[in-house]
Structure 1
Amino acid sequence: MQEILTLAQDPTAWVALITLIVMEVVLGIDNLIFISILTNKLPAQHRVAARRIGISLALIMRLALLGTIAWIVKLTTPVFEVFGHPFSWKDMILIAGGLFLVWKATKEIHHNVDPTEHNEDFIASSATSGFASAIGQILLLDLVFSVDSIITAVGMTPHLPIMVVAVVVAVTVMLLAATPLANFIEKNPTIVMLALAFLLMIGTTLIAEGMGFHVPKGYIYAAMAFSALVEVLNMLARNRRQRAAEKH
């Protein structure tokens, strides 16, 4: 308690907290896109519950990981080498998560390009098993992003209370934004393909990071923002053409 009161009176602690919250929220965008696409495939009555349960369990998992920071930091220690390049547990987690994202995004892109492969039997049978699968996939991907973000957070501040508050605030923002973002994606089908392309790019970036090639996050988010802006302009143009056609 004394440590928390001391930190509350320290201006540098507040700067670190705000910076860490912003970083966690920005990193959470990747998770939100994945969660939105994943839960939109569930029956309408299960979507909100899947998002809330998945994100809530993700919060519990992140807080549990924060309790094992000493172990998390050791994940950066090299375990073996391949052709002279060292690989740590963190690298292997990033590569595994990246491969999963690339596979998932590629599979979803294929389904969107050729939707005739979906059959009613699959959709009907996935109502219950699909719910559990969605929760599991949300937690799996969040584990990858959690390890990466926590290691980054440790490099920004040594104070555990600051990390805990930042994680709680960031996950709360995710919880509030998950349903509006998912509804927006569902109402704008072209956004789905763009979001899947983002996931494909993020997955490739995770693999590159795991292989030792550092890709500045700013470049990735700048490309995502530019692509999103272009898509917004396309949506505005389509809406104006539709309104003009309705008038005529």
Structure 2
Amino acid sequence: MENISVLLQDPAAWIALVTLVVMEVVLGIDNLIFISILTNKLPTEMRERARRIGIGLALVMRLALLGTVAWIVQLTTPVFEVFGQGFSWKDMILLAGGLFLVWKATKEIHHNVDPVDQKEDFIASSASTTFASAIGQILLLDLVFSIDSIITAVGMTPHVPIMVVAVVAAVTVMLVAATPLANFIEKNPTIVMLALAFLLMIGTTLIAEGMGFHVPKGYIYAAMAFSALVEVLNMFARRKRERDRQLKAVVH
């Protein structure tokens, strides 16, 4: 058992903690976008409860995974090769998670852009998204991101208590931000499409990582931040045009 008092007096441990918390929070953005889109398809009275239960169970799962750090690290060992390319359990998990995200995002984009089938698809999609299936999908995707983030965390610090604190802090931020983000996405239809595009890009990145191509996450989050900034500017422009129209209507 690690000596907690020694860690508290170690400046390097504090730096590792802050770095891990920031990393976990940033990685949690992917999860939050998915959770927001998924739970918004549930009846209004179920949405917040689904978010809390899903994120709460995700926390329990992450803490359980931290108890098996030694086993998780071994998931990076190749188990078979295809055309000279080695594939580990981590690679296969990333591939499965990436394919699931691409399928889910593509399906939701189709529902949003098809003017003929949009209403029927939305009804069918809402009916198929039950409370239990929403929780299951949240946990499934969180498993993919958790394994990836834990392996990254092991490379940053060998201290499990630091990882535990970082995970708890990140999940707490997710719990606080989940409902406001979901409400914001629901009230702004263009944000929904942007969020789905993010999920599509993240899914493609996971597939690339699973195939052995390293994609620096800084590029991904920089692209997401730039796209979000452009959309915010568009929102301000739309609101200004709407205020101008209302003002002209009052004058005339």
Q: TM-score range by the shorter chain?
A: over 0.9
Give 2:229's aligned residue.
229
Q: How large is the RMSD of aligned CA atoms in angstroms? A: 1.3
Correspondence 1:208 to 2:211: no
1:121-147 per-residue CA deviation (whole Å, 9 max, x = no partner) reads 764x45xx6111110000000000000
The amino acid across from 1:220 in the alignment is I
Give 2:96's aligned residue.
96
Matches within 5 A, 1:1-248: 3-114=3-114, 115-118=118-121, 120=123, 123=126, 125-126=127-128, 130-248=130-248
Which sections of structure 1, spanning at least 5 residues, go unmatched? none
Structure 2 distance, partners of 1:174, 1:119, is 27
Distance 1:104 1:120, change over 3 A: closer
Deviation at 1:117, TM superposition (A): 2.8
Deviation at 1:2, TM superposition (A): 6.4
User: SS state of the match for residue 86, structure 1?
Assistant: strand
The answer as to whether partners of 2:24 and 2:167 remain within 8 angstroms in 1 is yes
Structure 1 distance, partners of 2:110, 2:226, is 24
Structure 1 distance, partners of 2:14, 2:197, is 36
Deviation at 1:116, TM superposition (A): 2.9
1:140-162 per-residue CA deviation (whole Å, 9 max, x = no partner) reads 00000000000000000000000
Structure 1 distance, partners of 2:46, 2:122, is 20
Structure 1's consecutive aligned runs of 4 or more residues displaced over 2 angstroms after TM superposition are 116-123
Distance 1:120 1:164, change over 3 A: closer
The answer as to whether partners of 2:111 and 2:122 remain within 8 angstroms in 1 is no
Q: How many residues align?
A: 245
Structure 1 distance, partners of 2:62, 2:177, is 19
The amino acid across from 1:109 in the alignment is I
Distance 1:122 1:36, change over 3 A: closer
1:35-87 per-residue CA deviation (whole Å, 9 max, x = no partner) reads 00000111000000000000000000000000001110000000000000100
1:169-212 per-residue CA deviation (whole Å, 9 max, x = no partner) reads 00000010000000100111100000000000000000000000
The amino acid across from 1:117 in the alignment is E
State the TM-score, normalized to the length of structure 1.
Answer: 0.96
State the TM-score, normalized to the length of structure 2.
Answer: 0.95
Deviation at 1:118, TM superposition (A): 2.7
The amino acid across from 1:205 in the alignment is T
Structure 2 distance, partners of 1:212, 1:120, is 39
User: SS state of the match for residue 3, structure 2?
Assistant: helix
Deviation at 1:225, TM superposition (A): 0.4
